[in-house]
Amino acid sequence: MSRVLLRGAQVITMTPDRPDAEHADILVDGDRIAAVGESIEAPDAEEVDFSGRIVMPGLVNVHLHTWQTALRSEGADWTLMQYLTHLHGECVGHYTPSDMYISNFAGALNQLNCGTTTLGDWCHNVLSPEHADAAVDGLAHAGIRAVFLHGTPYRSPDIPHPLAEIDRLLDGPFRDHALLTLGMAVQGPQYSSPEAAVADFQAGAERGLVVSMHQSGGEPAPGWEAVRAAGLFSPLTNIVHGVGLPDHWLKTLVEAGVTFTSTPENELGQGHGTPVTGSLLHLGAAPSLGTDIDTAVPGKLLTAARIALAHQRSLDHARHVQTTGTHANTPSVTAKQALAWATVEGAKALGLADQVGRIEVGMQADLVAVDARALNLWPAHDPVATVLHADIANIEAVMVAGTWRKRDHTLLASRLDEVKDQLRESGERLLRTIHGAVGSPS
């Protein structure tokens, strides 16, 4: 197995008992981190000089509808209701397996380019087994680590999740794939009958799968109480958005170990409501982060982290002024907390906390090197803040399971021009189904 020794960087391990940042070497052996420390000796390893760089854990984008990649920017001015009408009402049924493949392939490559090494692919446009297989193939060919959250277009609240398809996938594409795991993208208790919601949660629990659902629809529906009464909320439960859940429900869910994922740029822009970040922090919990839909917002998780941080600070500053009449002297949320939302908390939400999200011996070698020598980041007085301020041009190298996916600021993928052409052709054809129905919605 190959061994690589990274020298000279400042390292952000996100490990509780280590400094926020430190000068350290990282030894990668095969797909895992073998050592972290000063002056590591490994004469048989390939040495990479990362002086002037900051190495951090790979980012974890917990919630992305990657199948929408070909429709980038079309919904930048859509409200939530316009998005549901145009995309889910008019467009989804026209997707072919080839459309699913190229969007997932190109979308996953883009995530790697942006520093995301683990993706929660919330794929709720699986129209057939062929659509599912094509979407999974796209992720696999990109070389990203991913949890494929199998979902379907919206259906009757009384119909449970198609478990035969879940079991087919478990016995097929996911049986031996090192980087891909399966989860369930269910309609959830807000949009299902109590009986269907309980059945979906029970099915996920029996298979040990992450069960993820949307919640931005106001007061909790009866299905929530039915799932709680059945004792099915657990650390394998992931709630996206969480907008509209009352404080007592948030407390109940946090105490059960449920994780929450905020997609702050889209939540604020499309009208989902106020992100639940502050409510979670008040309960001693924290959100994970996603970028949600390339249709409306860019898929850059560091941008999502900065927006989540700035928005919560704004709310806290305003609250402090309202209650005390003066501005706060200290920040309510730190840059390191925001980086944890994009790494540690993301790994927890996808059930991968023992594999990714931190730089520790025995963890998967999912690493990102940020070039802090660039003019927009130099001088890098605070490494944690510096990586939060980084953009795509600063992401110099990306490693997934010990394999380089980006080096020297260049994505290691062949025939990118062909990929882009296929993505454009798919998007143009799909957009005609929207424009033909309503005229240009923009």
The residues, any chain, with a CB within 8 Å of residue 142's CB and separated by 6 or more, are 104, 105, 108, 109, 112, 413
Q: What are phi and psi of 314, to 5 degrees?
A: -60, -45
Q: Give the tokens for residue 301.
A: 């998780």
pLDDT digits (tens, 9 = 90+) for 8-34: 999 999 999 999 999 999 999 999 999
Cβ atoms of residues 225 and 246 within 8 Å: no
State the DSSP string of 143-197.
T-EEEEEE--S---TTSPP-HHHHHHHHHTTTSS-SSEEEEEE---TTTS-HHHH
Tell me the pLDDT band of 436, cut-offs 50, 70 and 90. confident
Q: Angle at the Cα of 358 (from 238 to 291), degrees rounded to 5?
A: 45
Averaged pLDDT for residues 181-193: 97
- Higher pLDDT among residues 176 and 81, named by residue: 81
pLDDT digits (tens, 9 = 90+) for 258-311: 999 999 999 999 989 899 999 999 999 999 999 999 999 999 999 999 999 999
Helices (H) then strands (E): counts for the chain: 14, 19
Q: How far apart are CA 347 and CA 392, in angstroms?
A: 22
Tell me the pLDDT band of 1, cut-offs 50, 70 and 90. low
Cis peptide before 379 (omega within 30 of 0): yes
Listed in order, the ranges of the chain carrying CATH 2.30.40.10 are 3-57+362-410
Cβ atoms of residues 55 and 6 within 8 Å: yes
Averaged pLDDT for residues 103-131: 98
The CATH architecture that domain 59-346 belongs to is Alpha-Beta Barrel (3.20)
Tell me the pLDDT band of 100, cut-offs 50, 70 and 90. very high
CA nearest to 197, candidates 182, 181, 219, 215: 215
Tell me the pLDDT band of 437, cut-offs 50, 70 and 90. low
CA nearest to 57, candidates 398, 392, 307, 438: 398
End-to-end CA separation in angstroms for the chain: 52
Predicted pLDDT of residue 307: 98
Q: How far apart are CA 412 and CA 142, in angstroms?
A: 10
Helix, strand, coil % in the chain, rounded to nearest 5: 40, 20, 40
Average pLDDT, the chain: 95
Listed in order, the ranges of the chain carrying CATH 3.20.20.140 are 59-346
Least confident of 27-36, 90-99, 215-224: 215-224
Least confident of 53-62, 114-123, 173-182, 254-263: 173-182
Tell me the pLDDT band of 442, cut-offs 50, 70 and 90. very low
The residues, any chain, with a CB within 8 Å of residue 388's CB and separated by 6 or more, are 302, 305, 306, 309, 335, 338, 339
Q: How far apart are CA 423 and CA 222, in angstroms?
A: 41
Averaged pLDDT for residues 191-197: 97
State the pTM of this model.
0.96
Cβ atoms of residues 247 and 281 within 8 Å: no
CA nearest to 262, candidates 247, 281, 248: 281
Predicted pLDDT of residue 114: 98
Residue 187, pLDDT > 50, answer: yes
Q: Helices 194-207 and 222-229, interaxial angle, to 10°?
A: 40
The CATH architecture that domain 3-57+362-410 belongs to is Roll (2.30)
Question: Which of 228-232, 266-270, 327-331 is most confident?
Answer: 228-232
Residue 440, pLDDT > 60, answer: no
Residue 247, pLDDT > 60, answer: yes
Q: How far apart are CA 87 and CA 138, in angstroms?
A: 21
Averaged pLDDT for residues 345-350: 98
Predicted pLDDT of residue 216: 86
Residue 217, pLDDT > 90, answer: no
Averaged pLDDT for residues 160-165: 97
CA distances from 363 to 98, 114, 182, 202, 314 (A): 35, 21, 20, 30, 36
Predicted pLDDT of residue 439: 44
Predicted pLDDT of residue 169: 97
Q: How far apart are CA 70 and CA 88, in angstroms?
A: 15
Number of residues assigned to the chain: 442
Q: Which helix (H) or strand (E) covers residue 382, if one does?
A: none
